[in-house]
Chain A
Amino acid sequence: MTDNRAHHGTATGQVLSIHVTVNGHAHDVLIEPYLTLIELIRDRLGLTGTKKSCDMQVCGACTVLLNGRPVSACTMLAFEARHASLLTIEGLAQGEALHPIQEAFIEHGGLQCGFCTPGMILAAKALLEENPAPTEEEVKHYMRGNLCRCTGYKRILESIMVAARRLAQTHNPGVLET
């Protein structure tokens, strides 16, 4: 999807042309320098799985992965995604096959209303890529900036621990899941 709308009438008139890969698809978009990443994702690209909640980098609902690193789309300028690979929750499943983290959240009840879940799952993905076998304490520390007002976190923690073991097993089939 390419946004070729011209943007007139801004205070500066400055328009930036950026190239960004979103969930594996290349996009060339024209953006204002003050456009936020979440506005690009939701309003221009129509990917509404990324949620906006606190709008101040506290809650984690807008977590997306920029070159694999978790960022708050609400408080990041969209141009920072130029030449980068952006992953939103829509890009995680392979067709109908859910990602192991998504499966673990469903099986272990790691969500209720689901509003925090895209951010939770993407943050968990970044964590497990950096640290494939985290302790519970390490998961809690990494995930402390992703807030859930429904579940009380226990099931989210369980989901992530289970996903970690499954992913490790996928990578090392000789290791038995415990």
Chain B
Amino acid sequence: MLPPFALEEPTSVHEALALRARYGETACLYAGGTELLLTMKEGLLRYERLINIKLIPELAGMALEDGALHIGAITTHRMLERSPVVQRHFPTVAEMAAHVANVRVREVGTLGGNLCFAEPHADPGTLLLVYDASVALAQQGGTHTLALEQFFVGPFEVALADDEILTAIRVPALPAHTAAVYLKYGLLERPSVGVAVAVTALPDQVQEVRIAVGCVGPTPRRLRDVEGLLSQKELPEVRATLDAAGALAGSAADAVTDLHGSAEYKAYLVGVLLRRAFERAYQQAIRGDVGDTARGRGTA
């Protein structure tokens, strides 16, 4: 049983923003509801009204814009998973989306909602960080963009004001000779550890490595110190550094002890997944193959 609330159904961002301004924190934006309704059923969150944003055409749809993928906020995981455009140009994103939670959650849950809810045990944010993704935030004065890295503030906390709406996610294309891999592991319904790695490389020459870690700590985060250890190096040197990089990543991930495991265990797994993800991404980058790379147990 859900506690009573009223429903608002704006049909434009303009209307939705007016409702946001009017009702403030007594109302909550509602898209797929896969996270929000669970939390409301548990009595952890209570709102006087929900603002259903799924009738707003401006928030729907996906498109390639100058090589970058524009994803409307109410795009579901299932749409990402099954879109020929995403499968072709951002195959790792499609593959990651195909492994979020279960098919019912993917049919209903949206990317915008997933990012805004900021449940730490989730997949999309971690992978999108290595693409340098950004979010478009609308407020009554206009729309501004924010790097996804700045959007994540803490567990269940993002840089979205009470009078703003996340309208879209922008995912830039990876540079040439780059492949991204997302690996996760978990024993429970949600993933315990998620590691994303993007490697730009020519045979035996590693130019750039981007690394993001999620699920283990308060928010998904880029690990730039670890990236620095592995970038602009010849392959044997990178491989010789991977153990140290994995250990550093484990500690930099700020792992917490919870039902998914101890902080020590998760930090160790971060290192394991980092090494595996690096090897796969490197091999794919030098083959010019950027496909089919999000794998692992556990869901988001």
Using a CB–CB cutoff of 8 Å, the interface residues on chain A facing chain B are 10-12, 14, 16, 32-36, 39, 55-58, 60, 63, 69-72, 75-77, 79, 123, 126, 141-142, 144-146
B5 contact set on A, CB distance < 8 A: 11-12, 33-34
Asked if A75 and B103 sit within 8 Å, CB to CB, the answer is: no
- Give the interface of B toward A (CB within 8 A): 1-7, 33-34, 37-38, 41, 48-50, 78, 98, 101-105, 107-108, 189
Instruction: Give how many A-B residue pairs fall within 8 Å (CB-CB).
Output: 76
**Complex: how many Å from CA A123 to CA B225?**
45
Contact B38–A72 (Cβ < 8 Å): no
Which chain B positions have C-beta within 8 A of A70? 103-104, 107
Contact pick for B38, options A10, A39, A75, A79, CB 8 Å:
A75
CB of B38 within 8 A of CB of A142, answer no
Identify 16 residue pairs between A and B in the complex whose beta-carbon atoms are under 8 Å apart, listed by A's number.
A10-B4, A11-B5, A12-B4, A14-B6, A16-B7, A57-B38, A57-B105, A71-B104, A71-B107, A71-B108, A72-B104, A75-B38, A75-B41, A77-B33, A79-B7, A146-B102
Chain A residues with CB below 8 A from B34, complex form: 57, 75
Given contacts A55-B41, A75-B37, A76-B108, contact A32 B4 (CB under 8 A): yes
The residue in chain B whose Cβ has the minimal distance to the Cβ of A75 is B37
A34 near B4 (CB under 8 angstroms)?
yes
Among B34, B37, B50, B103, find the residue whose CB has the most chain A CB atoms closer than 10 A: B103
For residue A16, which residues in chain B have a CB less than 8 angstroms away from its CB? 7
A70 to B102, CA, bound (A): 10
Which chain B residues lie closer than 8 Å to A126 at the CB level?
A: 103
User: Assuming the A-B contacts A11-B5, A34-B4, are A69 and B107 also in contact, with contact meaning beta carbons closer than 8 angstroms in the complex?
Assistant: yes
Q: How far is the CA of A63 from the CA of B6 in the complex (A)?
A: 26
Docked Cα-Cα span, A34 to B48, in Å, equals 11
Which of A12, A36, A123 is in CB contact (< 8 Å) with B2?
A: A36
